[in-house]
Structure 1
Amino acid sequence: MTHKQHPIGSGFTAASTAEEVAAGIDLTGKNVIITGGHAGLGREATRVLVNAGASVTVGSRNPQRAQEALADVEGVEVSRLDLMDPASIDAFAERRLDTHRPLHILINCAGLPAPAQRELDARGYEAQFATNHLGHFQLTLRLLPALRATRGARVVNVTSGAQRFSDIRWDDLHFADGYEPTAAYAQSKTANVLFAVELDRRWAKDGIRGYATHPGVVVGTSLNSSAGQEGLRAMGLIDEAGQPIIDPKAGKKTLQQGAATIVFAATSPLLADIGGVYLKDSDISRLDDEPKPLTADSIPSEVASHSIDPKSARRLWELSEQMLTA
């Protein structure tokens, strides 16, 4: 399989921050949507993009809470969006399309922390797959007219190095035969990457490019806060005093460092003619299929072949379309 997973020498490192990545980039006149852009990595990306001149709309299940969280970030619009509710997604997209504003950057950032017990949405779909992938898939398709209008849009799917640990479970997508929280999370993150790959193949001709970004592990985000102190300590993310362990080269980052790759995907001119790739440390990741365990000292996060396989990407797209109409 030929692939585009070759670092391009961006000049940034694992320790680079979102502000450093955005330095010198003028986003005046650019319209951005960020799901979950009021918390954690999403909020940091929102702040940096606004400071660069962008007009940002944040999609949130709780608009009031989002507005409170963004009180010190001027000019951000907040609109209700529940990624597990197809009607809410359609309503959000319709409100946005009714403005007739082009959409330059769509950042699919919101994520569901792994439930301890199997949860399903109203359609019977596993909750992490439904939220992390299918909700964003539906949203992106609904916003296609606004993306096309720019002739240079980018769609950024925030994924995770966890994509290495599970392919798509084609025969048991919703874990009916036994629920494993980490496997369900990993499957949804693989779906994020495959979605970016196929989006780029289908829509690059319209000037729309797709990216999947691994931000690294950031202590305090909603996706790891449920682990508790003992769990975070066992994962090597906090020390005995409960303070975060920051080691960017090992993938343990500050919020500012974690948001850097998201902002890089959304704005870097180095990616102007490249799409359908998985990014980490503000560059394109190399491909690595060597089995590597996840330990307190090592967080493998390079992209795996199954996450960028073009046949799987096309199959997932077609399956996702079917799931939206079922």
Structure 2
Amino acid sequence: MTTAQHPLPSGFGAASTAEEVIKGVDLTGKVAIVTGGYSGIGLETARVLGAAGAEVVVPARDLQRAREALQDVPGAEAEYLDLLDPASIDAFAEKFLGSGRPLHILVNSAGLMATPLTRDARGYEVQFATNHLGHFQLVARLWPALVAAGGARVVAVSSRGIRFADVDFDDLHFEHRPYEPFAAYGQSKTANALFAVELDRRGRTDGVRAFSVHPGIIIDTGLIKHVDPEIIRASGTVDEAGRPIRDPERQWKTVQQGAATSVWCATSPQLSGVGGVYCENCDVSPLVTPETEAAWYAGEETPGVLPHAVDPEAAARLWEASERLTAG
């Protein structure tokens, strides 16, 4: 069983930018939180939401860097948060809840990719801990503000990295299997997608809808700093001088194009009454079927989401495991 993955169609596409998809949307009086909102596609997401009138809050480990990056986002706030530190997540959420503001939009854009094996203070593998568990705890703590919005959206930035791995419930933290950076990344990105499925199921009666997104391949951000340059060159996404090659139909996007699907999911009236789906290229992704799987793996230009990343039973199981892992 999987979620209903049916493209609308939206009228937008791979080359659409965040500014284009939000055109005509007025966010005056709305409050948005964007993790990772001071660099890469997170910064573009924060900028565009702010330009549409939203009050934007950006959690950050490096407050000085965040405040400098957000200078061109009028009224944006930077507040301390470390997704690997449960106490700091609680403190951030407590401060936000103390302000009495509802939370209309939460975009979970912060993340790590293909890092060497590292564990946090709890012994958790850091890609899973940062990309999934930190955001899981953040949403749980901010729940009263999301409900108070009377119609909120949570966007989990996943990736086509879901192809690298399913969630290994028997060994989430690579304690009993060899560590492979991209397998750990893939597990965390699959977790992001599954999180949106179960969050939407649990939240829809309270007006909270959730989406996961594949932003595209945007290599001129800090996300790829741990990736071997030879792997990047072999991918064909850079030219001989190391400059990014832009080809949105193959998912090789600019930052502006990479932020578009997150912004579309967070704001588009086209998604009224919809949730729990994986999206890309500013539309709901089709489901990869046995007939299309070979083409999907062979070509980045083939859209779609693998069934394991939108499986409601796996999503419910992940939710229960995440509650246990973040309880203390």
Instruction: Determine whether 1:166 maps to 2:165.
Output: yes
Deviation at residue 114 of structure 1 after TM alignment: 2.0
Residue 148 and residue 293 in structure 1: after superposition, are their counterparts in 2 closer, same or farther (change >3 A)? closer
Instruction: Determine whether 1:136 maps to 2:135.
Output: yes
Tell me what 2:26 maps to.
26
How far apart, in 1, do the equivalents of 2:167 and 2:154 lie? 21
Tell me what 2:219 maps to.
219
Instruction: Determine whether 1:115 maps to 2:122.
Output: no
Deviation at residue 221 of structure 1 after TM alignment: 1.4
SS of corresponding position for 1:174? coil
**2:162–2:186: 8 Å Cα contact kept in structure 1?**
yes
**1:215–1:261: 8 Å Cα contact kept in structure 2?**
yes
Residues 1-326 of structure 1 mapped to structure 2, 5 A cutoff: 1=1, 3-116=3-116, 118-176=117-175, 177-227=177-227, 229-289=229-289, 290-291=293-294, 298=300, 302-326=304-328
SS of corresponding position for 2:154? strand
SS of corresponding position for 2:33? strand
Deviation at residue 291 of structure 1 after TM alignment: 4.0
Deviation at residue 229 of structure 1 after TM alignment: 4.3
How far apart, in 1, do the equivalents of 2:2 and 2:45 lie? 32
Matched AA of 1:135: G
SS of corresponding position for 1:79? strand
SS of corresponding position for 1:70? helix
Matched AA of 1:34: V
**1:196–1:211: 8 Å Cα contact kept in structure 2?**
yes
How far apart, in 2, do the equivalents of 1:7 and 1:72 lie? 34
How far apart, in 2, do the equivalents of 1:231 and 1:15 lie? 25
How far apart, in 2, do the equivalents of 1:229 and 1:323 lie? 34
Gaps of at least 5 residues in structure 1 are none
Deviation at residue 225 of structure 1 after TM alignment: 3.5
Matched AA of 1:321: E
How far apart, in 1, do the equivalents of 2:182 and 2:208 lie? 32
Matched AA of 1:222: G
**2:2–2:311: 8 Å Cα contact kept in structure 1?**
no
**TM-score, length basis structure 1:** 0.96
Deviation at residue 164 of structure 1 after TM alignment: 2.4
Q: Which moved more, 1:23-32 or 1:162-171?
A: 162-171
**2:36–2:58: 8 Å Cα contact kept in structure 1?**
yes
Deviations 1:203-256 (A, max 9, x none): 100000000011000021122233354332211110112221111011100110
Gaps of at least 5 residues in structure 2 are none
How far apart, in 2, do the equivalents of 1:293 and 1:212 lie? 19
Deviations 1:287-323 (A, max 9, x none): 004145767x636652111111111000000110011
How far apart, in 1, do the equivalents of 2:161 and 2:10 lie? 24
SS of corresponding position for 2:185? helix
**1:229–1:242: 8 Å Cα contact kept in structure 2?**
no
Deviations 1:165-214 (A, max 9, x none): 21111111111121000000000000000000000101100000000011
**2:114–2:227: 8 Å Cα contact kept in structure 1?**
no
**2:288–2:304: 8 Å Cα contact kept in structure 1?**
yes
RMSD: 1.4
How far apart, in 1, do the equivalents of 2:158 and 2:194 lie? 10
How far apart, in 2, do the equivalents of 1:320 and 1:301 lie? 29
| Equivalent residues, number | 324
How far apart, in 1, do the equivalents of 2:70 and 2:150 lie? 30
Residue 301 and residue 7 in structure 1: after superposition, are their counterparts in 2 closer, same or farther (change >3 A)? closer
Matched AA of 1:192: N
Matched AA of 1:225: K
Deviation at residue 15 of structure 1 after TM alignment: 0.3
